[in-house]
Chain A
């Protein structure tokens, strides 16, 4: 198998899906979607966190610096961004709690004797409902956030 020894482009040769394998959440069910959303929201929240630490450091510059920062962030776009942050953090936290349970095999059922149609016991609605609850709570939190940010005092 000479072809196997002459590796040129490693990813093409190994036929690995690469980042495309991460980015497409639609093929394998709810748990894969949850994996994709955890990565997306995690990265998004990390970026927001770094920005937020920088943004709040304007307090050191006194009232003028702080108000200048508020003018930049307390805008319609700023509010929409904050609502996304609220949704992302709610989903990431609730789904994270679900994953802490699932990753210790709590709620995944017990091993048994597989039979046709060979469905996986771990992909059950008990642990899957955690994803649905996380999505619903994120939507509810975003609605509440919208009412606070756009709804007035």
Chain B
């Protein structure tokens, strides 16, 4: 559904032309400016040749290499693994390396910096606030039953079913697309954002962690989990299928005491940790 929503019709004339000739030109508009720029937004436009598999990042790097080396872009892995190249492409936050020109269905592409992040310059934004929100939810396993002397080391036992409870949320690459798409983040500076809240659930659901109540108390405040209204935009834009909206609603279910951790699992965790110590 998400791909159908984001993809324009592949049978458009532009794509047919590309498929036949394997190359055509697009107009790439790139936002230029920094925090001290005048209030008017300014874009520089470039004609870029593209072929069937050209990504937006390829087009941006073509411009940087051959037309205007002053453009500020952040990128790294080029394969949707590092999350560095997030930007607003034709109005929607996407990864530039993961977005093909052909899937946008138009030959005018507009690249802007990710919204809701402080602007450094052009397409580069500051992620410090985003990382601060992530740190606040304590993104690490906390287990008070561990033997502090470490004399009797033992692995945590997890069944595949227990791993599946949290695995998809651990695939987050911290690209910030969800934070950009969220309507609450658009106005609420204290809201942690979908990424941090989904990670709060990731650690809550992990049976190696025993700080469940502390994690729930951490998000139960007036700018916490309750300011999520399930607008679903975070899950719509997530490139890794993390589905942060699902994690947040599951955490909320636990807060409302509608969903509970099975007693059997809690007893098993206590048993496992007793064996280890």
A31 to B114, CA, bound (A): 21
A64 at the interface (CB under 8 A from B): no
CB pair A35–B229 under 8 Å, yes or no, is yes
CB pair A32–B231 under 8 Å, yes or no, is yes
Given A38-B229, A105-B246: A3 touches B120 (CB 8 Å cut-off): yes
| Distance of B54 from chain A, by nearest CB (Å) | 19
CB pair A123–B34 under 8 Å, yes or no, is no
Name the contact of A22 in the complex, choosing from B3, B39, B186 (C-beta under 8 A). Answer: B186
Q: Which of B176-200 contact A (CB under 8 A)?
A: 181, 183, 185-187, 189
CB pair A105–B183 under 8 Å, yes or no, is no
CB pair B235–A114 under 8 Å, yes or no, is no
Chain B, interface SS category: loop
CB pair A104–B246 under 8 Å, yes or no, is no
CB pair B187–A15 under 8 Å, yes or no, is no
CB pair B249–A120 under 8 Å, yes or no, is no
Most chain-A CB neighbours within 10 Å: which of B39, B119, B237?
A: B119
| Distance of A139 from chain B, by nearest CB (Å) | 23
* Count of chain A residues with a beta carbon within 8 Å of a chain B beta carbon: 48
Q: Contacting chain A: which of B16-24, B69-77, B136-144, B164-172?
A: B164-172
A95 to B230, CA, bound (A): 12
CB pair B238–A104 under 8 Å, yes or no, is no
Residues 107-129 of A, flagged 1 when their CB comes within 8 A of B and 0 if not, give 01101111101111111110000
B86 at the interface (CB under 8 A from A): no
A17 at the interface (CB under 8 A from B): yes
CB pair A27–B91 under 8 Å, yes or no, is yes
A108 to B244, CA, bound (A): 12
| Distance of B253 from chain A, by nearest CB (Å) | 4
Given A28-B236, A119-B3, A122-B243: A16 touches B115 (CB 8 Å cut-off): yes
- A114 nearest in chain B by CB position: B241
A19 to B115, CA, bound (A): 13
Given A22-B183, A105-B253: A15 touches B125 (CB 8 Å cut-off): yes
B35 at the interface (CB under 8 A from A): yes
A72 at the interface (CB under 8 A from B): no
CB pair A123–B249 under 8 Å, yes or no, is no
- B257 nearest in chain A by CB position: A104
A18 to B183, CA, bound (A): 8
With a cutoff of 8 Å between Cβ atoms, the chain A residues found around residue B250 in the complex are 105, 108, 111
Q: Which of A1-47 contact B (CB under 8 A)?
A: 1, 3-4, 6-8, 12-22, 27-32, 34-35, 38
Chain A, interface SS category: loop
With a cutoff of 8 Å between Cβ atoms, the chain B residues found around residue A137 in the complex are none
CB pair B183–A103 under 8 Å, yes or no, is no
CB pair A120–B115 under 8 Å, yes or no, is no
B174 at the interface (CB under 8 A from A): no
A80 at the interface (CB under 8 A from B): no
Q: List 20 A-B pairs, Cβ < 8 Å.
A: A1-B126, A8-B36, A14-B116, A14-B117, A14-B118, A15-B116, A16-B189, A22-B187, A29-B5, A31-B233, A31-B236, A35-B230, A105-B249, A105-B259, A111-B168, A111-B243, A114-B240, A119-B1, A123-B232, A123-B236
Given contacts A18-B186, A28-B236, 19 further A-B contacts (CB under 8 A): A1-B126, A6-B36, A13-B35, A13-B119, A15-B114, A21-B116, A21-B183, A27-B233, A28-B232, A29-B1, A31-B236, A32-B183, A34-B231, A99-B230, A109-B246, A111-B166, A111-B246, A114-B242, A120-B236
Mark A residues whose CB is within 8 Å of B: 1, 3-4, 6-8, 12-22, 27-32, 34-35, 38, 99, 102-106, 108-109, 111-115, 117-125
